[in-house]
Amino acid sequence: MKRNLLLLCVALVIATVGYTQKFPSTDKSPMDMAYFPDNFAHDRKGDDKAIIRVSYSRPSKSGREIFGKLVPYGKVWRMGANEAAEIKFYQDVDFGGKKVAAGTYSLFGIPGEKEWTIILSNDLDYWGAYSYNEKNDVLRVTAPVIALSDALENFSIVFDKKGAGKGTMKLGWDKGGAEVAFTY
């Protein structure tokens, strides 16, 4: 009886060790979120409610030429990597000079040498821009190209407050990007 119990315990240990969970390696383009206003700022007073949130993946430059090469000019881009970026407006805003209703949208861009077209789409929850359908655009705005003095290794989205009820969303990677003004 003791021998059978010992064999059973050894078998359970071997089965448990052989069945360990394998976790995937770290994603090369990790997910991130950008908020306006930055609700995670250390000097936050606690009374600022989020106006905008962007969820996106942050690909690395990794020595590659970005705009005009990896991200071609004149073609729809998912604003990051992996799943299409999503932007949530917690209230109605004026985005790039056009009214947009509170809600969640996919965020796309068409980079150009002088300006970008920023696109909000009703299509949600899909990978990349391969299924992008212009018929589902909510709005398109043009945004001036910005030059960055220091190259950004990872694609990034940040918000700047520009006074009462005004802000700017900046998209940057490598030595360039674009910015969109908004009011709320």
| Ranges 11-15, 89-93, 153-157: which has the least confidence | 11-15
Q: Is the pLDDT of residue 116 over 60?
A: yes
pLDDT of residue 101: 97
pTM here is 0.81
Give per-residue pLDDT as tens, 49-85. Answer: 899 999 999 999 999 999 999 999 999 999 999 999 9
Categorise residue 174: left if φ over 0, alpha if ψ from -120 to 50, beta otherwise: left
Tell me: pLDDT of 148 over 80.
yes
Segment 75-98 shows an average pLDDT of: 96
Q: pLDDT value at position 125?
A: 87
pLDDT at 151: 93
Q: Is 113 helix (H, G, I), strand (E, B) or coil?
A: coil
Decide if pLDDT at 45 tops 70: no
Q: What number of H helices and E strands is found in the chain?
A: 1, 9
User: Does 25 have pLDDT greater than 90?
Assistant: no
| Buried-state track 7-40, b at ≥16 Cβ within 10 A, e below 16 | eeeeeeeeeeeeeeeeeeeeeebeebebbbebee
Look at residues 136, 169, 182, 174 and name the one whose alpha carbon lies nearest to residue 56.
Answer: 169
Round to whole Å and give the CA distance between 55 and 34: 7
Planar angle of CA 135, 137, 141, nearest 5 degrees? 135
Q: Please tell me the predicted confidence (pLDDT) of residue 153.
A: 96
Q: Does the pLDDT at position 7 exceed 70?
A: no
Q: Could you say which DSSP state residue 29 is in?
A: S
- % pLDDT > 90, the chain: 71
The least confident of 24-38, 92-106, 157-171 is: 24-38
Per-residue pLDDT for 139 more than 90?
yes
C-alpha dihedral (82, 55, 40, 152), degrees to nearest 10: 50
| Structural contact between residues 52 and 89, judged by C-beta atoms closer than 8 angstroms | yes
Helix, strand and coil in the chain, % to nearest 5: 10, 45, 40
**Amino acid at the residue 45:** K
Q: What average pLDDT does the structure give for the chain?
A: 87
* pLDDT at residue 104 is higher than 90: yes
Residue 9 has pLDDT above 90, yes or no: no
